[in-house]
Structure 1
């Protein structure tokens, strides 16, 4: 019985191709949006967690403000800490270096600026003051040249540039040994970092591809102490990470007279924060995309109500020759279900195409899984059925005599 209803539904929908397509458009956009957004969220989560794991479980992060394990702090949102005023200081760096349980310390100190080399200019770059231990601790590799020595850089004005800065300022030439200007001051490029994924969603919340790295002292001299100490990374020499975390916490509290305007995070807590923040962002944006699915459902209901009115004579004739209310109901439900299924499948294909283009032409690596595809299709089918009930019931309840009289 339902098989015949679906055949009839497909036949009727093919008679009105453009109307059917426009009716499905909301479903197509909704499914494509949900799948693409969730895939991007899963890809970002995989990337960030991978970077955290690459750091190693012995790396501890000290951040400005209070950040909870859920990712939201009392004073800031974790991913927006980049833009807030830091409560960390150079005294904190020196104090952490003196802790016996800490083997190395890497500060991430930044300010935005512009750079120039010859006729080429790069705006809104990140000037990062850090230490020469940064590549080892962050597992970063150099494409050309080497990294600076802290003391030598203060006088020699040596910098290491990110891959995007190298491409913008030096085009296809090797930047090592060439000169560039930041804030009117000449610097010599001694190294170029390999391209790294992540940007502001990376473990260090810094787009190293668009950055120029120099020593802390050189950065302070360049900017007149207007740099912002984003965070401090410390490597534990003690296998007991909790003990090192406790020592850092006690030391920084002592510097502040007992106040705690900072957060010390170990590896597992960073993973929890990354998962929570990305999941929250994905859920919020996905909820907006689901609204388009509901709009698509309303579109299905509206068009089907119009269809019921247009096909009053057909309904009357079918009932007059013996069609039951159930058969009429099934036919219109089948039409609504067909619209939602076809729209959902097209939406999935569109999302897969978008994800493929993102992989080819951007740094994003969306992760598509069967669970997300299945859930999106189930939602679209459910929307189609729910919003088809009212038109189907209206059609089934039509009196055949009245239907033929009013046709």
Structure 2
């Protein structure tokens, strides 16, 4: 009885006898596997990059802005504007569907001066809860606390770019800046938040909401003294905003005298819906790119089946001679099966290794270099799908030609010899 080692020896001899053909066949499989993994890794790179961008903004954050109430539902005529106020904020904070809410007043028409430089940044009035709702990575000092708000303190927390502009190469904590002529003491600085050339979040200066309302309230016709630019809140249930939005809509509609079912009256944006939308887009992208890769892999598998059938035809006389000398159907089946499986398995392993190496190089060279995008990385499920496809392809590429070879009649096989 032929041993497994003998079978493998014959397999390697058969492969070595047709080096170019074997190489081209294995290259097709390796290319298909590598394409599958790189394409899926590319889609996952976009997904993780966008997810990280939203995380830098804040987790589960809903931003509600001042809006306009249409005179007739779904009609953009006779719009009546309204402003969110501190009363809206307090009512929202009492809702069971909201776990945290924070105010924001945004003024970009104020002038900031230090003893070294001057600039015009975005002055934000807010309170102590802002740093828990939004991502505010303070690297020096502290953020605004409740005492700052209660006592209307003249303190400020500066963004990274504003800090560099006002205090170029100098200490910031404890220094003084003036905002439209009023002196503020710097109590903290924020690490870089923005990515790429969009530096809006790094050009902010945060001051207590009470101080902002007293010194720099929003300007405009019929503007309430405590008007806000926005209210930002987090739903009580993580990853789910429907109930929280509905509850907030009822509060705001009641306070400003309109029907909460008029959706056009609300101006808002949230990271939860954005994340779900991007997740659906990138999942569809993964499926599409993975499908392209699997089709490429399937073409390589068809190539192996074709090559193995050609090999059976070319070696008909050899098969007939072996069977005449006593080789069993099982030994013939085993040899051709392992030949197909080995071609598929080795080429697949090369494809996985080469794609992993390629993506590793991209990770090392491009990580953090392209805003909103991470370099492709090896995704476990795509590697598992590739391995499963290889197993199926290898079995198909081995069994069918092997069964054809095993069924040959030795006398008929010997007659075909030229």
The TM-score bracket by the shorter chain reads 0.5 to 0.7
How far the C-alpha of 1:262 sits from its partner, in A, is 7.8
Q: 1:381 aligns with which of 372, 380, 391?
A: 391
Relative to structure 1, the CA distance from residue 344 to residue 243 in structure 2 (aligned partners, 3 Å threshold; closer, same or farther) is closer
Q: Distance in 2 between matches of 1:270 and 1:280?
A: 15
SS in 2 for 1:398: coil
Unaligned 5+ residue runs, structure 1? 64-86, 108-128, 144-159, 163-173, 178-192, 197-207, 216-231
Relative to structure 1, the CA distance from residue 239 to residue 336 in structure 2 (aligned partners, 3 Å threshold; closer, same or farther) is closer
Q: Distance in 1 between matches of 2:80 and 2:230?
A: 15
Asked whether the 8 Å contact 2:345–2:390 carries over to 1, the reply is yes
Q: Does 1:235 align with 2:232?
A: yes
How far the C-alpha of 1:300 sits from its partner, in A, is 0.3
Q: Distance in 1 between matches of 2:407 and 2:273?
A: 60
Q: Distance in 1 between matches of 2:294 and 2:105?
A: 43
2:171 is matched with which residue?
A: none
1:401 is matched with which residue?
A: 411
Q: Does 1:32 align with 2:40?
A: no
Relative to structure 1, the CA distance from residue 11 to residue 265 in structure 2 (aligned partners, 3 Å threshold; closer, same or farther) is farther
Query: 1:81-125: per-residue Cα shift (whole Å, max 9, x none)?
Result: xxxxxx9xx988955888423534599xxxxxxxxxxxxxxxxxx
SS in 1 for 2:327: coil
1:13 is matched with which residue?
A: 15
How far the C-alpha of 1:132 sits from its partner, in A, is 5.3
Query: 1:54-96: per-residue Cα shift (whole Å, max 9, x none)?
Result: 4444621579xxxxxxxxxxxxxxxxxxxxxxx9xx9889558
Q: Does 1:324 align with 2:321?
A: no
Q: Distance in 1 between matches of 2:37 and 2:62?
A: 35
Q: How does 1:51-90 map to 2 (within 5 A)?
A: 51-57=53-59, 59-61=61-63
Relative to structure 1, the CA distance from residue 95 to residue 306 in structure 2 (aligned partners, 3 Å threshold; closer, same or farther) is same
TM-score w.r.t. length of structure 1: 0.58
Q: Distance in 2 between matches of 1:99 and 1:308?
A: 80
Query: 1:114-166: per-residue Cα shift (whole Å, max 9, x none)?
Result: xxxxxxxxxxxxxxx988589977647899xxxxxxxxxxxxxxxx999xxxx
1:211 is matched with which residue?
A: 198
Asked whether the 8 Å contact 1:8–1:331 carries over to 2, the reply is yes
Relative to structure 1, the CA distance from residue 288 to residue 243 in structure 2 (aligned partners, 3 Å threshold; closer, same or farther) is closer
Relative to structure 1, the CA distance from residue 377 to residue 340 in structure 2 (aligned partners, 3 Å threshold; closer, same or farther) is same
TM-score w.r.t. length of structure 2: 0.56
Unaligned 5+ residue runs, structure 2? 66-75, 93-100, 107-120, 140-158, 168-190, 204-228, 368-373
How far the C-alpha of 1:20 sits from its partner, in A, is 0.8
Relative to structure 1, the CA distance from residue 288 to residue 237 in structure 2 (aligned partners, 3 Å threshold; closer, same or farther) is closer
Relative to structure 1, the CA distance from residue 397 to residue 235 in structure 2 (aligned partners, 3 Å threshold; closer, same or farther) is same
- Deviating more after overlay: 41-50 vs 357-366: 41-50
1:246 is matched with which residue?
A: 246
Q: Distance in 2 between matches of 1:38 and 1:56?
A: 27
Asked whether the 8 Å contact 1:341–1:380 carries over to 2, the reply is yes
Q: Distance in 1 between matches of 2:165 and 2:278?
A: 35
Q: How does 1:227-306 map to 2 (within 5 A)?
A: 234-236=231-233, 245-246=245-246, 248-250=248-250, 258-259=262-263, 269-306=273-310
Aligned pairs, number: 296
Query: 1:169-228: per-residue Cα shift (whole Å, max 9, x none)?
Result: xxxxx9999xxxxxxxxxxxxxxx9586xxxxxxxxxxx52436499xxxxxxxxxxxxx
How far the C-alpha of 1:358 sits from its partner, in A, is 1.6
Q: Distance in 1 between matches of 2:294 and 2:306?
A: 19
How far the C-alpha of 1:386 sits from its partner, in A, is 1.2
How far the C-alpha of 1:45 sits from its partner, in A, is 3.7
Query: 1:365-385: per-residue Cα shift (whole Å, max 9, x none)?
Result: 444355543432231121121
SS in 2 for 1:322: coil
Q: Does 1:103 align with 2:90?
A: no
Relative to structure 1, the CA distance from residue 10 to residue 274 in structure 2 (aligned partners, 3 Å threshold; closer, same or farther) is same
Asked whether the 8 Å contact 2:10–2:335 carries over to 1, the reply is yes
Q: CA RMSD in A?
A: 4.6
Q: Distance in 2 between matches of 1:339 and 1:261?
A: 64
- Deviating more after overlay: 50-59 vs 389-398: 50-59
